[in-house]
Amino acid sequence: MRLTVDHVTRYHYDRPVRSVVQSHRLQPSVFAGQKVSEWEVTVTGGVRGAAFRDGAGDQVQGWTVAGPVSEVTVRVQGTIDTVDLTGVLRGHKETVTPDCYLRATVPTRADTALAGLAMQAEGADPLALAHALSAVVADAIAYKPGVTHAHTTAAEALALGEGVCQDHAHALIAVARVRGLAGRYVSGYLFADADGQSHEAAHAWAELHLPGLGWVGFDPANRCCPDDRYIRLGSGFDAQDAAPIRGIARGGGKEEMDVTVAILQASQ
């Protein structure tokens, strides 16, 4: 599937700040499931800094905006061809060992309830178990936008019984680790109109490391594995670690942010 992306993030400050420094993970991952035709990231007034590819295979690009500045706009525009690999991350180069993703973080730490949820899943092999874990998370946390926030933990979302894709991903990572499977958070995009259903265009899911297959994606929020509707950007231990944009503003102004994302199917 050929998809076009137009992703705009605007930062507003209630008074001019001295400078803004950001690091971006906004380049599509390099693997067999996607091939970039065009891709451009722009930052209003920004100066491009150093770039590198980290151990997880993500390209990290630094930006600096000199102040005084009251608004910064980050825009991603691109065209990419995607292939359905039934969630398998084939051909992705990284150097970190999967075992490092057995370490819990605050958002993905399993409490007693998450540990109990993990034991409800049954599977004859690791792949079947992974699907079962994704299903029990989907059953336990109903999709409901606006009920959680950026710092909600997996345990809190499970206790609430509601959440968004970030909460589903955190919960799946938590229960997978209880069952001995390494799990990590993935940020990206989802083409919302392919099946006529409502989805979040800026999306997140989880990958679990399975013997013989490597990393495999699972999206409990949509009860599926990522296919050619999905664009993978990067990964991390949790949502904060995998955030497409991270940064600081020097000068103390109060920051507000708004995001618009449009994913469309392009003609071949």
Q: In angstroms, rounded to a whole number, what is the distance separating the alpha carbons of residues 2 and 267?
A: 7
Summarize the confidence of residues 185-198 as an average pLDDT: 78
Task: Check residue 194 and give its pLDDT.
Answer: 58
205 and 125 in a common domain: yes
90 and 200 in a common domain: yes
Summarize the confidence of residues 207-223 as an average pLDDT: 97
196 pLDDT above the threshold of 60:
no
Q: pTM for this structure?
A: 0.95
Q: Which two tokens stand for residue 249?
A: 């503003």
Q: Which two tokens stand for residue 50?
A: 């150093």
What residues make up the domain containing 53? 2-81+245-265
Residue 197 pLDDT grade (very low, low, confident, very high; cuts 50, 70, 90): low
Q: Which two tokens stand for residue 25?
A: 């993970």
Q: How far apart are the first and last CA of the chain?
A: 8
Q: In angstroms, rounded to a whole number, what is the distance separating the alpha carbons of residues 142 and 160?
A: 9
131 and 72 in a common domain: no
Residue 254 pLDDT grade (very low, low, confident, very high; cuts 50, 70, 90): confident
136 pLDDT above the threshold of 80:
yes
Q: In angstroms, rounded to a whole number, what is the distance separating the alpha carbons of residues 59 and 204?
A: 18
Q: In angstroms, rounded to a whole number, what is the distance separating the alpha carbons of residues 32 and 226?
A: 13
Task: Check residue 67 and give its pLDDT.
Answer: 83
Mean pLDDT of the chain: 94
Query: Exposed (0-12), middle (13-18) or buried (19+): which is 78, by Cβ within 10 Å?
Result: buried
162 and 97 in a common domain: yes
| Tens of pLDDT, residues 42-83 | 999 999 999 999 999 999 999 999 989 999 999 999 999 999
232 and 122 in a common domain: yes
